[in-house]
Amino acid sequence: MSLVRAEDKKKWINAFVAIMSILCGYTMIRFVAKLGEWFDLEAKIGNFLAFNQGVGILVGLMVFVLVIKNRKATEHMDEVYEELVKVSWANKDAVLKITVGLVIGLSIVSGIFVLIDLAFREILNLIF
């Protein structure tokens, strides 16, 4: 059972590129804001906040357009999506069983580490 369908390829690829573009724009906004703090650009550039937001939006749009227009990038994402369609996803019961098993296993291993830590701590307290 696959969660994704082959006919939804373009929609998912565009959504992925849009999300990555938003993240790039947000990162640029944060970067320019940090530069503003370091170099006191708020005092040097009038309406720095609008400038900062504009740079972020411009970078996000440029990333989106450049990735969508790049033939090699779109071919790669098409190939990745075609492989994703072939994936056989686990059902709800299998995921629940695996999750419970992992939680129990991690609890046991962390308990062992806690006991080893306590033992070494007591040994060090006896020595020092």
Residues 60-104: pLDDT tens digits?
999 999 999 999 999 999 999 999 888 888 899 999 999 999 999
12 and 75, same domain (yes or no) = yes
For the chain, how long is the longest CA-to-CA vector? 69
61 and 118, same domain (yes or no) = no
8 and 69, same domain (yes or no) = yes
The model carries a pTM of 0.68
83 and 101, same domain (yes or no) = no
Q: What percent of the chain has pLDDT over 70?
A: 98
20 and 40, same domain (yes or no) = yes
79 and 96, same domain (yes or no) = no
Which structural domain, as residue segments, surrounds residue 101?
Answer: 90-128
Separation between Cα atoms, residue 56 and residue 39, nearest integer Å: 18
11 and 23, same domain (yes or no) = yes
Based on the structure, what is the number of domains in the chain? 2
Of the pLDDT bands very low, low, confident and very high (cuts 50, 70, 90), residue 38 is very high
**Mean of per-residue pLDDT scores for the chain:** 94
